[in-house]
Amino acid sequence: MRVLITGHKGQLGRALHARWPSAVGVDLPEVDITEAGAIDAIVAEHHPDLIMHCAAMTDVDGAARDPQAAYRANGLGTQNVALAAARAGAALAYVSTNEVFDGTKGAPYVEFDTPNPLNPYAASKRAGEWFAANLTRQFYILRTSWLTGRGGRNFVHRIQQLADERGQLSVVTDEVASPTFVEDLADAIVQVVSTGRYGIYHLTNAGYCSRYDYARQILELSGRGHVPVQPITLADYPRPSTPPKFSPLANFAAAALGITLRPWQAALAEFLKG
């Protein structure tokens, strides 16, 4: 299978490239997906069977400050990639987010629940989902959450850094989702796209927790269990974006194919061992 990976320099893109070493990888500044001609030329040159679309604006607060930039990258950029895939007869795998849901269900979201994004980042990613599903006939929409990988900017690294710098932390208790580790997610994506069963999939490590409980586990497993953590609420922590309060993803569709991810606690423990 000939694979083209957008955003191949990111933490997920790198992990997928390691699994598909013959894949063609594209990223900024060489290829900008918001320029239709650039992605069209690459697809026409390499004739991929699958476009693995990881490129995105993932700065959630930055998207709230500049929604147009988020829509350009995550919405119109995905439109360009989807149209290029359709013209080439390639399948499209689009990485999306738990934040497309509003967090009011009170239970983990399955693939058949109706999205209702609360913030510009989430709305832009939902726009990307629409383009993937409506402009191509062969698509995978792969939703995940709280992604952590080596060499990336993520919650696990940030909590350790702040604990060392400040000696104490304040972390929210009322934002709940499913931590996901890049290596596990990449393995699951490879398995899903190898089935040829197109559709929507929720791929996260099993289980869910609050940011507060997640931080406590990070500190405990990294030898920082003595660092005090004050529980606060989202209302105590003003920020440009508004995350959904309870947005764990339930793996229903991939599990029906025998594809599951291990519990987040086990993945975190392995990640912290280096």
Catalytic residues: 121
- Cβ distance 149 to 186 under 8 Å? no
The dihedral through the CA atoms of 233, 66, 97, 127 has a sign that is positive
Residue with tokens 């490239």: 17
What's the half-sphere exposure (Cβ side, CA atoms, 13 Å) at 230?
Answer: 10
Beta bridge partners of 144: 97
* CA–CA gap between residue 98 and residue 237 (Å, rounded): 20
| Sequence-separated (6 or more) residues with CB below 8 Å from residue 68 | none
- Region for residue 176 given its phi and psi (left: phi exceeds 0; alpha: psi -120 to 50; beta: otherwise): beta
